[in-house]
Amino acid sequence: MKILVTGAAGFIGYHLSTKLIEMGQTVIGLDNLNDYYDPSLKQSRLKEIENNIHSSNFTFIKEDISNNENIINIFHTEQFDIVINLAAQAGVRYSLQNPYAYVDSNLSGFINILEGCRHNNVKHLIFASSSSVYGMNVKQPFSVSDRTDYPISLYAATKKSNEMMAFSYSHLFKIPTTGLRFFTVYGPYGRPDMAYYKFTKNILEGKEINLYNNGEMKRDFTYIDDIINGIVNILDQTPAPQDNKHSLAKPPYRLYNIGNNRPVTLENFIKAIESSLGIKAKRKLMPMQDGDVLSTYADIEDMIDDYNFYPSISIDEGINNFVRWYKSFIE
Ligand SMILES: NC(=O)c1ccc[n+]([C@@H]2O[C@H](COP(=O)([O-])OP(=O)(O)OC[C@H]3O[C@@H](n4cnc5c(N)ncnc54)[C@H](O)[C@@H]3O)[C@@H](O)[C@H]2O)c1
């Protein structure tokens, strides 16, 4: 199959592209290599793909998904079987300072992806949504049947918008579509803007680590390999038209949580990093940040029922893998 992976130089996109080429798929990786975080990390990921023995299955295109004309041309020329949209402006806190980056990539960019799928007979569109759509919902674990009308950041609002835009296109143009709400993904080649990366870096450098809301938070941290296995399992399982008790519309559209289903406190997560590094962290207690949620917890029953999805990597194992990668990377 010919698969478009947008955001291919990003954390999840790099791991997914690697897995897909190793499975023998033909992958077109697209990314604008923006500088939201150090672009040299994105280049390193691409270099890793280049060095993979299956790299002949991979072609990289440097492009911005918000560039309407170029994206439409790429879809027309390449005729993808499957499209996996991971390109987005990520990060909750940054959306308070740079709202337009979210509008450009997550809204304008996303409509170009939908239009490309609409006009080129794409057999399956898979797109990244986020646990942030649950905002500060009271009921836990978070289930896809829960209401998600209360986003507490613009990032979350754009991800919720993606789900609604994709639903309408799936209904109108019968595009088989699967949305995945990722829950705090971590692992080697991870994102420097995320807490686990900053904690590891600061602890190793003898600096303080900032614990927002005094560390009183819980996250359903999910190891990258579990996420990638989840995505790969659904690739050729296109959703059938879905009954919906709230609406007569029956688009071939499904939405899933993809998380570890075992939330841990920030304190226990830090303890896992400390024990892996063999160094005690210097904790600095900080107030809650705007846009942050207190806790996340994925209900993954649907993923289990439909795709036999069972996350298998424990926090200790996952953190050890990350720390091992981080130390060798900075060297
Ligand atoms: N990592 C997580 O914990 C997490 C959790 C929930 C959802 N997500 C979502 O998963 C997807 C991948 O996240 P990630 O952690 O790999 O982030 P990432 O920032 O590492 O990867 C995103 C990639 O997309 C690229 N990109 C951004 N805007 C673009 C544009 N307009 N055109 C082309 N490329 C563009 C970036 O350069 C980057 O390489 C994103 O949609 C993100 O919102 C991630």
Quick one: 145 exposed, middle or buried, by C-beta within 10 A (0-12, 13-18, 19+)? exposed
How much of the chain exceeds pLDDT 90, in percent? 95
CA-to-CA distance for 256 and 218, rounded, in angstroms? 21
Q: Token match 């499957």: residue?
A: 82
Assess if CATH 3.40.50.720 describes domain 2-330: yes
CA-to-CA distance for 321 and 315, rounded, in angstroms? 10
Instruction: Give the pLDDT confidence of 3-40 residue by residue, as tens digits.
Output: 999 999 999 999 999 999 999 999 999 999 999 999 99
Beta strands 218-219 and 264-265 are: antiparallel
CA-to-CA distance for 45 and 60, rounded, in angstroms? 12
Structure tokens at 183: 């829950």
The verdict on the CB of residue 318 being under 6 Å from ligand 1 is: no
Question: What residue type is assigned to position 31 of the chain?
Answer: D
Structure tokens at 111: 């409509």
Question: What residue type is assigned to position 323 of the chain?
Answer: V
Instruction: Give the pLDDT confidence of 129-185 residue by residue, as tens digits.
Output: 999 999 999 999 999 999 999 999 999 999 999 999 999 999 999 999 999 999 999
Write the residue with the smallest CA distance to atom 11 of ligand 1.
86
Write the residue with the smallest CA distance to atom 28 of ligand 1.
88
Q: Which of 37, 94, 102, 155 is catalytic?
A: 155
Q: Report residue 120's pLDDT band, with 50, 70 and 90 as the boundaries.
A: very high
DSSP string, 90-132: --STHHHH-HHHHIIIIIIHHHHHHHHHHHTT-SEEEEEEEGG
Q: Token match 């994925």: residue?
A: 298
φ, ψ of residue 292 to 5 degrees: the values are -75, 150
- Strand extents, DSSP E, the chain: 2-6, 26-31, 58-62, 82-85, 124-130, 177-182, 185-186, 208-211, 218-219, 222-223, 253-258, 264-265, 282-285
Flag whether the pTM goes above 0.75: yes
Write the residue with the smallest CA distance to atom 12 of ligand 1.
86
Across residues 228-252, what is the average pLDDT? 93
Q: Report residue 245's pLDDT band, with 50, 70 and 90 as the boundaries.
A: confident
How much of the chain exceeds pLDDT 70, in percent? 100
CA-to-CA distance for 22 and 184, rounded, in angstroms? 25
Domain boundaries, the chain: 2-330
The verdict on the CB of residue 190 being under 6 Å from ligand 1 is: no
Question: For residue 291, what pLDDT is reported?
Answer: 86
Question: What residue type is assigned to position 265 of the chain?
Answer: T
Decide: 220 and 296 in contact? Cβ < 8 Å: yes
Decide: 107 and 158 in contact? Cβ < 8 Å: yes
Mean pLDDT of the chain: 96
Please state, in angstroms and as integers, the Cα–Cα distance from residue 231 to each residue in 126, 206, 258, following that order: 8, 37, 9
pLDDT exceeds cutoff 90 at 264? yes
Q: Report residue 270's pLDDT band, with 50, 70 and 90 as the boundaries.
A: very high
Active site residue 155: yes
Structure tokens at 36: 């939201």
The verdict on the CB of residue 117 being under 6 Å from ligand 1 is: no
Q: Report residue 244's pLDDT band, with 50, 70 and 90 as the boundaries.
A: confident
pLDDT exceeds cutoff 90 at 309? yes
How many angstroms is it from 31 CA to the middle of ligand 1?
9
Beta strands 253-258 and 185-186 are: unpaired
pLDDT exceeds cutoff 90 at 242? no
Q: Report residue 206's pLDDT band, with 50, 70 and 90 as the boundaries.
A: very high
Question: For residue 88, what pLDDT is reported?
Answer: 98
Q: Report residue 243's pLDDT band, with 50, 70 and 90 as the boundaries.
A: confident
Task: Determine the length of the chain.
Answer: 331
Question: For residue 72, what pLDDT is reported?
Answer: 98
pLDDT exceeds cutoff 90 at 73? yes
Q: How many CA atoms lie within 13 A of 20 on its CB side?
A: 30
Question: For residue 93, what pLDDT is reported?
Answer: 87
Decide: 215 and 285 in contact? Cβ < 8 Å: yes
